[in-house]
Amino acid sequence: MELQLNVVTLTTIADSLHEIEKEEVDCLLECVREGLLYVTLVEKNLDFIKDHIILQQAAETLWREISKTNKWLGNELKNPAFQEYTAGQIVKWFRDTAERYWAEESRKDVTNDDDSMHRLICVNSMYSITKTILHTYNTIIDDDTLSQKELFDRLSSKIADIIAACLTNLPQIIIMKCHYMSAIKEREASVKDAAQLLGETTEIIRLLQDHRIPNMNPSDMPSLNKWRAYFRNPSSSDA
């Protein structure tokens, strides 16, 4: 899974929309910063993500660049050229730039080059996500009726969906931290971590439970397809 990377990539596009008020963008960035703490925790603790450490590293590197320099792979997110672009044109710029970078980077031997590997992963994520956006909103993008505000809201909603899917795993992680350590000192430290995590997330967990989170297998929780299926037909998930 690439949950952390998907969140960062979606945030990158949202941050580049020049018609959105700075306060609104800053609010999104702060929410993402807080949400990524828990997304990262989920990814690092659940079995399904153990083979994806390189994806986490790429996402963390990209997030540092975005949050500290407001750039995506060296490109200014507040690109002056974007002032003349529609929402669709900005998405297409990211798609085309990602495609060009992919062609350049894929010719290199990145086996022992972490920076190039991370760049390739981030480029692939951007290309995949922008293609999905363009396909999903094809008609309104082509006729320029998709406003930047509407795109920003839809991207924000997707980001929230991913973070919410990860947060549903918090009770499982708290239980794991309490029970799965063998050495006494390790277990004491893990229980302390679990208590702190529980204190930080009790309200989040309560809110999620109040919203009738479906009874899904733990391995299904981070799957966006499973969540989409649930929200399309929630009654079938409760059966």
Torsion sign across C-alpha atoms 227, 229, 232, 236: negative
Q: Tell me: the pLDDT tens digits for 38-74?
A: 787 777 766 554 447 888 889 999 999 999 999 999 9
Render each residue's pLDDT in the chain as its tens digit; 239 residues: 578 899 999 999 999 999 999 999 999 998 898 888 878 777 776 655 444 788 888 999 999 999 999 999 999 999 898 999 999 999 999 999 999 999 988 787 766 778 888 999 999 999 999 999 998 888 677 767 889 999 999 999 888 888 877 777 766 766 666 665 555 445 455 545 544 555 555 555 454 444 444 455 545 554 445 544 544 454 444 44
- Model confidence, pTM: 0.75
Residue of 76, 130, 124 lying closest to 103 (CA atoms): 124
Q: Tell me: the pLDDT tens digits for 73-89?
A: 999 999 898 999 999 99
Residue 174 near residue 194 (C-beta atoms within 8 A): yes
CA distance 22 to 15: 9
CA distance 222 to 216: 10
CA distance 7 to 115: 20
CA distances from 234 to 31, 222, 228, 229 (A): 27, 17, 10, 8
